[in-house]
């Protein structure tokens, strides 16, 4: 076992890990941050998406030891400092961008990474960026709408679904 130190949502944390321990296992099982979901374990669904040093990654595909010392942000770190929903989270709520909610943490993390890179994406750019995030419920339309709304664009003309 090795001790890995991480800054998670702005707090210094450490965990005992084995060489094979995945980042998502540290977050969920050792740090209790169960907002990061595991939907596949094979790097396909994106439910485990978090930010590591500002970039979105699938935390089921990264060894904890390989990100020692990194700054990690999970869905628990996405709310505003006063605990209210962030702009992206509020847009998902307002535009019905979730149903069961299983994919939502990963979707929000991916959306945040997209809007950081591209603050005013087109609908096509949003759809392309979400390629690595699977949702079994919504048909994606309202997720895309929520992300466009979060970017400050007028989505009133987009059809409701």
Q: Which residues bind ligand FES (CB under 6 A)?
A: 38-41, 43-48, 58, 60, 98-104, 135-138
Separation of alpha carbons 74 and 80, rounded Å = 13
Q: How far is the CB of 81 from ligand FES (least distance, A)?
A: 27
Residue 94's CB is within 10 A of a number of other CB atoms, namely 15
Q: What are the residue ranges of helices labelled H in the chain?
A: 23-25, 87-94, 104-117, 123-129, 141-150
Q: How far is the CB of 82 from ligand FES (least distance, A)?
A: 26
Separation of alpha carbons 144 and 86, rounded Å = 17
Separation of alpha carbons 160 and 27, rounded Å = 36
Q: How far is the CB of 39 from ligand FES (least distance, A)?
A: 4
Which residue's CB is nearer to ligand FES, number 14 or number 44?
Answer: 44
3-state secondary structure of 3: strand
Of the CA atoms within 13 Å of residue 25, those in its CB half-sphere come to 15
Assigned token pair, 138? 């919504």
Q: How far is the CB of 44 from ligand FES (least distance, A)?
A: 5
Which residue's CB is nearer to ligand FES, number 129 or number 152?
Answer: 129
Token pair 């939907």: residue: 39
Q: How far is the CB of 47 from ligand FES (least distance, A)?
A: 5
Which residue's CB is nearer to ligand FES, number 61 or number 153?
Answer: 61
């Amino acid at each position: 076992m090795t001790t890995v130190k991480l800054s998670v949502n702005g707090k210094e944390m450490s965990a005992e890990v084995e060489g094979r321990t995945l980042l998502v296992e540290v977050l969920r099982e050792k740090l209790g941050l169960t907002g990061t979901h595991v939907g596949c374990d094979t790097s396909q669904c994106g439910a485990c998406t978090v930010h590591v040093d500002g970039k979105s990654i699938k935390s089921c595909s990264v060894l904890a030891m390989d990100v020692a010392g990194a700054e990690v942000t999970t869905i628990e770190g996405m709310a505003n400092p006063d605990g209210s929903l962030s702009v992206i989270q509020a847009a998902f709520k307002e535009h019905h961008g979730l149903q069961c909610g299983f994919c939502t943490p990963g979707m929000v993390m991916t959306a945040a990474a997209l809007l950081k890179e591209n603050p005013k994406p087109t609908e096509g750019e949003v759809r392309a960026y979400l390629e690595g995030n699977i949702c079994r419920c919504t048909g994606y339309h309202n997720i895309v709408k929520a992300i466009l709304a979060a970017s400050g664009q007028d989505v009133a003309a987009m059809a409701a679904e």
